[in-house]
Amino acid sequence: MESLRSQVGWLQAKAARSASGIHEAEFRAFSQNGEDGIIQFLLSRVPVDREIFIEFGVEDYRESNTRFLLEHDNWRGLIIDGGQAHREFLEVSGRAWRHTIEAITAFVDRDNINGLISGAGIAGDIGLLSIDIDGNDYWVLEAIDVVSPRILIAEYNSVFGPASEITIPYDPGFDRARAHYSFLYFGASLGALASLANEKGYALVGCDRTGVNAFFLRRDVLGDVPELAVSNAYVASRVRESRSEAGELTYVSELADRLALIAELPVVDVQSGDLTTVGEAVR
């Protein structure tokens, strides 16, 4: 099955590189959604001098934003996760010796991320960075200064809406499953991530169709890829992952109903630095 996905992905990659836009380019070989296609589309328009990627929050690495880059484009990579499954997968599958990739076990926070990256011998200009840790994404991205990726991918919390610029308060021990039973309280809004990315010299160029990941390009390599306003790039997620207090899926669909579950929980307005609540910030 994985071999078939890889072979089909090779064919889809050719189409993605000649697509007219991000959503037309989407396909999934090893990514969770259409990220593989979006990355191929952007690579056809962004010159990359150092074919190096970093991704953290990869779980067992069977589904990830960079695995197709590793296997299709033969990039060098660094992957980080709090468990051991990603390392075991690389070893058992033979990818650890077929490719140049380092897998680190660590719980990423804003104090250790630069050391983890530089400790792997990576610094400066790189091709791509993907962040998906279901929690302190904004704060960790804010802290990163040891690398300057040309393509940046960051997960956003669609429930926080298109207009707010908020993130969860920083907590180095944040655990999405424990923070709130609903599983909906995590990360940052698209607006918060876009504002931070802009400060770091990046332009928002789109989100995947499922409303999970946002894509940014470093402005010096933006070229003719159009920059989008948050309101135009935002995609509302239809992923129904809400839980009951017993931990069972409840399939809550409407945004208002999702918001009601976490309305009283604290968030930080990244523009003012003030602490507020989800309900006050998202209207």
- Spell out the domain ranges in the chain: 2-281
pTM of the model: 0.95
Query: Which of helix, strand or coil describes residue 91?
Result: helix
pLDDT tens, residue by residue, 185-202? 999 999 999 999 999 999
Note the pLDDT of residue 20.
Answer: 86
Note the pLDDT of residue 16.
Answer: 84
Choices 3.40.50.150, 3.40.50.300, 3.40.50.620, 3.30.1360.70: CATH for 2-281: 3.40.50.150
Q: Give me the helices (H) in 124-236, please.
A: 137-143, 176-179, 190-199, 230-233
Residues of the chain under the 70 pLDDT cut: 1-11
Q: Cα–Cα distance between 242 and 184 in angstroms, integer?
A: 6
Considering only CA atoms, which of 78, 77, 216, 192 is closest in space to residue 142?
Answer: 192
- Which single residue is written with the structure tokens 């980080």? 80
Q: Cα–Cα distance between 148 and 124 in angstroms, integer?
A: 5
pLDDT tens, residue by residue, 120-141? 999 999 999 999 999 999 999 9
